[in-house]
Amino acid sequence: MSKMKETRAPMTTLRLLLLGSVVLLSGVAAKDPSLIIKPVQPRQMKPIGSSLILNCQPDVDQPEYITNLKWLDPQNRTIDQTSTAGAHVTTTFTSDNNLGLVITGLTEADVGTYTCTATYSNSEYLAHSVVVDSFDDITWVDAPTEQYPIAGTSYKVRCKVKANPAPLVEWYRADTKIQDGNRFVKEYDGLVIQNVTAEDDGIYKCRAIVLDTGNIKDRDIRVEVHIPPTFAADQVSQLELVEGDMASVQCAANGKPEPKITWIHMPEQRDLSEGSERFSVNKITGVLTLNKISRSDNGKFKCVASNAAGTIERLVNVVVLIKPEILEVTNISEPINTEARMRCSANGNPLPSIVFRRVGTDVVIKTGIEDYRVSVEHDTVRDVATATLVIKHLNRTDDGLYTCMASNKGGSSMKNGHLTVQFPPVYASNMVKEVWTWNAKPVNLSCVSESLPNASITWLLNNRIVEDDMNVKKFGKGPYSDLLVTPVDQRYYGVYTCFTKNIHGENNAYITLREAHRPSRVSQAKFEVVTATTISFSFVGPTDTGGIKIKAYAVQYKELTQSWDEARNKSWPVDTPYILEGLSAQRTYHFRFAAINEVGTSDWGVVEQRVMPRRSAPEEPKILVTKDVYTEDYINSPYGNSYEVNWKIPADNGEPIDRYNVIYCVIEKINTVWTQKRESCRTEDLKSPDKTSLLMENLNADTFYKVEVRAHNDIGYSVPSELVFKTAMGADIPLQPAYSNRLSSSVIISIVLAVLFTILVVIDVSCYFVNNTGILFILFGWCCRKKKRDEDTKLGSLYGWRFPLPYCNNSIGESSSNGNGSSYTSDVEKVPLPDMNFVFEGKELLTNGNTYQSSNMRIEPTETLNKKDTEVEYDVRRSVSQTRFVGKDSAV
């Protein structure tokens, strides 16, 4: 209240008045000199470490009389103005006669009463004290701003605060005050969170309050819950790796923060995470990669996963599989009938199992299964497995290569060993036991012995060693030996002994050296096929070949009237066609035969006499067909519009073949009988006798054809060779070119009809004049039926086989009447025709009669089709019966 009055007094007088009253009221003389310390509070509370200044100001009327102004410390020592450097309590004049006490970095030791003293007017001692006190500010003693509780545990979020006076501590999370209780317990040095979970992550605020000083301080503490590592489920703990391979194994762990993985190879206590040539570790994914796995990697590997919250580890047991290696297979060589032991040793991890097989078979040899003599013994010494193949009572067949195979999980390997069975000499089964020679001709006796080891060979004759004889020469001592013998006299013929010997035994082989001689007479010579100019023979060999093979047969032949001195000779090597050519028809010959071997020619056999047949038309030119295209009674042509017919050159029966005639017609099978479409027939004459094939073109597809081939010589036509074939489906293109190139088919038909009509007229006229037959003759009379048959023959040769002849031939009715259902041959025999030309015509009548029997077909499958151009084959198989015709006909 007095202060208020003081400050409000507006005037000096009033002020002075009031001042006097204030002085009166306060009981202090207004003019008393004193010292004022500012700030004026008698007690100065300052936090430790802070700095302060206390200004001492004399309050006197005449400040110039102030002397000795100074500060005393709590121990009443004068504080120097210029105290030593570093002192933190000093004084300083703040103005002329104001002295400040400066304390920098207040410490506990600085606390106490500081006094400012001065002398006024040299007499009056002035003093004023102030108490400097300290207090502790709020300090964070233990309150880290980042804290990591571990999940599952109880954790105290530390916030230890020091302050003097003691502070209050409050907790906030996300601006919400945390209440005691529940999972939170406030303690003096922190906040306990019970059973920490990941949700407890966050910023926690620790607030310290000192009510005395009004101080308040906040600290944000980041709480991040750590989760100790755990291994992921389903991780391998056992691993089999193959030596030399590459492999990787993962060790995955979860946790917060992300655990780091290290791998340790336990046997070496080596941390693989550093990486090396063979190992690398991905610390994040936990994958351990092993390059080129070595057997030293065998053992336990430890996976360690660690993060701030903890460390865990687990073991992986690595087994390095080592592919077996065969260390040794023994090659053995044992005598027959003894016991053989083939040993095979191998290593590997795990220890391999060993089996034996015979090279070339897949059969694993097992004790006594296949063969009671065979067994397999197994043994293991340290890290080597051994198997022994034991074969008792060795046979020669046991000799050979055996495969030893060792296998384990890591793989397998194999190696062959040889078992050699030694045996005493035996002789090759194909050894020649009889040797022939003659005329002191040197000859080799050959001895081949099989034995192991090789046997030596000694030659004996009549139980005496002959090797030194001058007429004997030995080549080779064994296991092969040839004895070249020159049998200069009879003593060298006889039984030779080839004596062989080795360490296991000895053996004898007997080889007889015989003297060869000429063969005996030919037992029999058969006349197989006889034509007008050729004969083919077969021989029954001599009873005695002379000890060696017959090389050839010889014939000597002459005409009846000639002497044997004029005879001609021919010989044939054995197994060639024995054909004699160049004979004359209708002549009588004498033949005699002999066999020939290396030594010489046999005596001539008995003389055979033969009359050669008269010349006749050629034999049937057999149509050649390959076996594979033959079906039922016809051939399938591979083409729709063509077929090539091939035939064999037949025997010409004494006159050279000058041409072939080929007729082909469309036929149909009606009620199992082939019926010919006469108008479809086409005829080709092949003037060249060397030609043995004809390509029939422009045929209809999917159609049956019958083809007939006849050979011709001066005497006439042969029996036809016949074949039915069927063209392939489709590709029926043959007639088109004919249209475009030439005349239309209707024009052709018209022309053909016109020509035929003209020919008919001409023939009819001819018949009238020559034969007295035909339409004209019918009109003019019936004399034609009385004509003679030899005139027929003349006409036949005049007109050849063409059809006008049968038309005006008497035999027409006869032929057609017995044509149906009877074979061609019987036709020929029944119809009294004079020669083969007529035979052919008789056949023609049959074909005109539109009937064929499939039994007439003669299909001769053969593989010699391709050879037809290079060799001329005589087909004389049927010539005997043919000859019979000729004889019969000629008799007529």
Ligand X SMILES: *[C@@H]1O[C@H](CO)[C@@H](O)[C@H](O)[C@H]1NC(C)=O
Chain residues in the site for ligand X (CB under 6 A): 331, 417-418, 442, 444, 453-454, 475, 479, 482, 484, 568-569
Half-sphere exposure of 325 (CA within 13 A, CB side): 5
> Residue 328 or residue 371: which is nearer to ligand X going by CB?
328
> Residue 159 or residue 405: which is nearer to ligand X going by CB?
405
CB of 318 to ligand X, least distance (A): 35
Q: Under DSSP, is residue 810 helix (H, G, I), strand (E, B) or coil? A: coil
> Residue 418 or residue 787: which is nearer to ligand X going by CB?
418
CB of 487 to ligand X, least distance (A): 12
> Residue 260 or residue 568: which is nearer to ligand X going by CB?
568
CA-based R_g, the chain, Å: 70
The Cα diameter of the chain in Å comes to 216
> Residue 44 or residue 602: which is nearer to ligand X going by CB?
602
Distance between alpha carbon 9 and the CA centroid of its chain, in Å?
A: 124
From the number of C-beta atoms within 10 Å of its C-beta (0-12, 13-18, 19+), residue 312 rates as middle
According to DSSP, the β-strands at 505-515 and 434-437 are parallel
Round to whole Å and give the CA distance between 444 and 483. Answer: 5
Tell whether the torsion through CA atoms of 444, 450, 453 and 458 is positive or negative: negative
> Residue 513 or residue 667: which is nearer to ligand X going by CB?
513
CB of 602 to ligand X, least distance (A): 11
> Residue 454 or residue 862: which is nearer to ligand X going by CB?
454
> Residue 330 or residue 825: which is nearer to ligand X going by CB?
330
Distance between alpha carbon 502 and the CA centroid of its chain, in Å?
A: 50
According to DSSP, the β-strands at 443-452 and 456-461 are unpaired
Residue type, position 785, single letter: R
> Residue 205 or residue 518: which is nearer to ligand X going by CB?
518
Q: In this structure, what token pair is assigned to residue 25? A: 């009221």
> Residue 425 or residue 650: which is nearer to ligand X going by CB?
425
198 DSSP 8-state letter: G
Round to whole Å and give the CA distance between 226 and 153. Answer: 10
> Residue 556 or residue 862: which is nearer to ligand X going by CB?
556
- Strands, E, within 428-471: which ranges? 434-437, 443-452, 456-461, 464-465
CB of 404 to ligand X, least distance (A): 11
Round to whole Å and give the CA distance between 889 and 434. Answer: 58
Q: Under DSSP, is residue 228 helix (H, G, I), strand (E, B) or coil? A: strand
Residue type, position 639, single letter: Y
**48, 107 in Cβ contact below 8 A?**
yes
Distances (CA, A) of 619 to 562, 817, 825: 31, 27, 14
> Residue 169 or residue 435: which is nearer to ligand X going by CB?
435
CB of 330 to ligand X, least distance (A): 6
Round to whole Å and give the CA distance between 34 and 56. Answer: 10
> Residue 178 or residue 594: which is nearer to ligand X going by CB?
594
CB of 518 to ligand X, least distance (A): 12
> Residue 95 or residue 361: which is nearer to ligand X going by CB?
361
CB of 531 to ligand X, least distance (A): 23
> Residue 305 or residue 550: which is nearer to ligand X going by CB?
550
CB of 444 to ligand X, least distance (A): 4
Long-range CB pairs of 559-564, under 8 A, 24+ apart, other chains included: 559/584, 559/587, 559/588, 559/589, 559/590, 560/587, 560/588, 560/589, 560/590, 560/609
How many residues appear in the chain? 892
CB of 493 to ligand X, least distance (A): 16
> Residue 479 or residue 774: which is nearer to ligand X going by CB?
479
Long-range CB pairs of 486-492, under 8 A, 24+ apart, other chains included: 486/440, 486/441, 486/442, 487/437, 487/440, 487/441, 487/443, 487/513, 487/515, 488/440, 490/515, 492/461
According to DSSP, the β-strands at 657-670 and 704-713 are antiparallel
Q: What are phi and psi of 780, to 5 degrees?
A: -100, -10
CB of 454 to ligand X, least distance (A): 4
CB of 605 to ligand X, least distance (A): 13
CB of 594 to ligand X, least distance (A): 8
Q: What are phi and psi of 407, to 5 degrees?
A: -140, 145
CB of 329 to ligand X, least distance (A): 7
CB of 230 to ligand X, least distance (A): 58
CB of 391 to ligand X, least distance (A): 17
CB of 549 to ligand X, least distance (A): 17
CB contact set of 702 (below 8 Å; sequence gap of 6+): 640, 726, 727, 728, 729, 730, 732
Cis, bond preceding 149 (omega within 30 deg of 0): no
